[in-house]
Amino acid sequence: MLRKLPLHVLMVIVCVSSLVAAAVGAPMTYNESPMLSERVASGELPPVDERLPINPVVIEPVDEIGTYGGQLALTGVDITGIGSTYWYYIEALTRLDRDGVTIVPNIAESVTPNEEGTVWTIALREGMRWSDGMPFTTEDVLFWYEDILLNEDLTPVFPTRWISGGEKMDLEVLDDYTFQVSFAEPYGTFMMRITRFHWDEFFRPKHWLKDYHIAYTPLEELQPMVEEAGFESWYQLFNQKWNTRNEVPHTEGPPTLRAYIIEEVPADNITIKSRNPYYWRVDTAGNQLPYIDRVRVDLVSDPESVTMKILAGEVDFMGFDTQVVNLPLYRANEDRGGFEALLYTNMFGSEIVFLPNNTHEDPAYRELINDARFRQALSLAMNRPEINEVVMFGLGEPTAATVVPWSRYFKPEYRTAYAEYDPDEANRLLDSMGLTERDSDGFRIGPDGKKVHIILEFPLGEGARVPITELVREHWQAVGIDVTLQIIDGSLWWSRMESNSQHMSLWHMDRSTDILFTLEPIWFIPVQTWHGWGIAWTQWYLSGGTTGEEPPDEIKELYAAFERMNSTVDEDERLRLGHEILQSQAENVWTIGTVGSLPHVVIVSNRLANIVPEEEGQWGYDGYFATLMDSVQWYLKD
């Protein structure tokens, strides 16, 4: 089981880590890739010790000191995800260590709260540079705060995550490498929050972006660029320039703090990235990371094409678009494809979580779905053992929607609440609601005189969504609830969910480990319009009551618990509030889990080294996927 450290311990770890590093001493002699040595020799780059901060982050390799060189082969379906190596090399002020629990320094050398948790002092790494060689300082932090966060054109709605006690957070620069953020009330989870946000929060390259900002460049100079880009306003141009998911060569796009930069885009579906010469991490021998010189990403049209590339041995690493249901296929082709299929710990609370929309506009449907007995009956009618055996080869465990078993918020009774297969009890609950009349096909008649019918909409993606939903449809139809499955395009799915148009949807159940359960308990409290189960309630909450629909008192109580859980610096109180939220979920079945504790298949080529071993590996959004593995210390054996 993973170590579980309370927040006050996590804060101490972050605050003292820089002192420990100073005591033991960072490596005094640094080495670099031969491809960079050539650029140094030609005068194109300064020496490596001038490109690194005074106190770089030191990464201990998983197995051994690696060797430089080579090109990593990746693939993926979506350019906004794996296609841009988005989830492989994320950098935030602080980060999760490989255990998936402990918070350690990263871009920030230290983070220190005051006793009340209202003021947080953050020290950056002196001498750190952007990928174009320009210094990274608090000027970049102040630019983000004053010119982006406080600019109503760029930030029309101030993010609620940076509001405390009804007041916006304040940011003050103390010197070139130190700044403070202050809140009106305690912000006990600030450390968690800065671990979970990266290039969109707390820093942006002022020297590069100011050319597109009206505070620094007159509108008459911006207007030709705005028109050429096909926009109507300067802030649209600005947002496009900062969209780091745009796969454009580094010479055309913004500088970064990440390990790789775009070298070229030779075709619409291919991106080549090369190492950032100013990357600020080294290994324990003083070798500047990453070890691998280049990354090639080949985009494909569908998950099946990813599978074909894996089987053909064309991929060095893959954790996206892999399925447990394909495990026999992977294992049968390991020798031929030159890879190994590893089973990592899945960070999902449930492979799939069903999301009944409690605020749907149809009054007859709402009357049913708002009755806890209806949701309880749906959960009891679900034959989770069958799903586990048929789809998951018996590798998982039946579960209600709750946090992962190694979470400090976990209780076994949360996992089993209304999760046993009991169709008799499901029928009894439905009968008790007055749904006793049935049509000629055996489906129950609802309060509007029509058969009870659920339209389940979802996009294809992670998890075995189709085989699971096909079984669940059979389970629910067996107790008289008709179900239509609608697989729709991802963008249409998003828009329909946010417009409150769906009966029910589903997603893979991430945000189930300690940090993200605390920050974004979206499966248990309607705090986001995407992945939502009470869309109009969420709109009411996020707008401060100006839009949407006022929720019932029990939902308001959950909102209050959520806000208190994030503000308190009392860890015992945070734990109590977390249990209050999960107890409400267990009793009310706001969302419906399926099978949990499943392994996740990760494909690793035989030439890729320093991979976290199977017994220690974790995979999921909560750990930023491959970022959790310190992917910069991977190297290629050949």
Amino acid type, 125: R
Longest dimension (CA), the chain: 84
DSSP 103: E
Distance CA(413)–CA(410), nearest Å, equals 9
Q: What residues contact 166, with CB distance under 8 A and at least 6 apart?
A: 184
| CATH number, domain containing residue 449 | 3.10.105.10
- pLDDT the model gives residue 476: 98
456 falls within a domain: yes
Distance CA(418)–CA(554), nearest Å, equals 20
**Looking at the 3D structure of the chain, how many domains does it have?**
1
pLDDT digits 0-9 by tens, 306-346: 999 999 999 999 998 888 889 999 999 999 999 999 999 99
Q: Is 37 helix (H, G, I), strand (E, B) or coil?
A: helix
Q: Which regions of the chain are under pLDDT 70?
A: 1-27, 78-86, 197-200, 244-252
Distance CA(314)–CA(273), nearest Å, equals 17
Q: Which residues of 113-139 are buried (b: 16+ CB within 10 A; e: fewer)?
A: beeebbbbbbbbbbbbbbbbeeebbbe
Sign of CA dihedral 97, 101, 107, 108: negative
551 falls within a domain: yes
- pLDDT the model gives residue 248: 52
Give me Rg for the CA atoms of the chain.
25
Distance CA(32)–CA(30), nearest Å, equals 7
453 falls within a domain: yes
Around Cβ 171, how many Cβ atoms within 10 Å?
A: 20
Whether 201 contacts 194, CB under 8 Å: yes
Report strand pairing: 618-619 vs 94-96: unpaired
The domain containing residue 419 runs over which residues?
Answer: 350-596
Verify cis geometry, omega within 30 degrees of 0, for the bond prior to 290.
Answer: yes
Distance CA(544)–CA(538), nearest Å, equals 10
339 falls within a domain: no
DSSP 258: S
Distance set, CA 608 to CA 66, 67, 444, 612 (Å): 10, 11, 56, 11
- pLDDT the model gives residue 249: 52
629 falls within a domain: no
48 falls within a domain: no
228 falls within a domain: no
Q: What residues contact 125, with CB distance under 8 A and at least 6 apart?
A: 53, 54, 55, 56, 57, 107, 108, 109, 177, 280
Quick one: tokens of 166? 């009804």
Number of H helices, E strands in the chain: 22, 27
Q: What residues contact 60, with CB distance under 8 A and at least 6 apart?
A: 283, 284
287 falls within a domain: no
Quick one: tokens of 549? 């629909």
Please, is 607 exposed, middle or buried when counting C-beta atoms within 10 Å of its C-beta (0-12, 13-18, 19+)?
Answer: middle
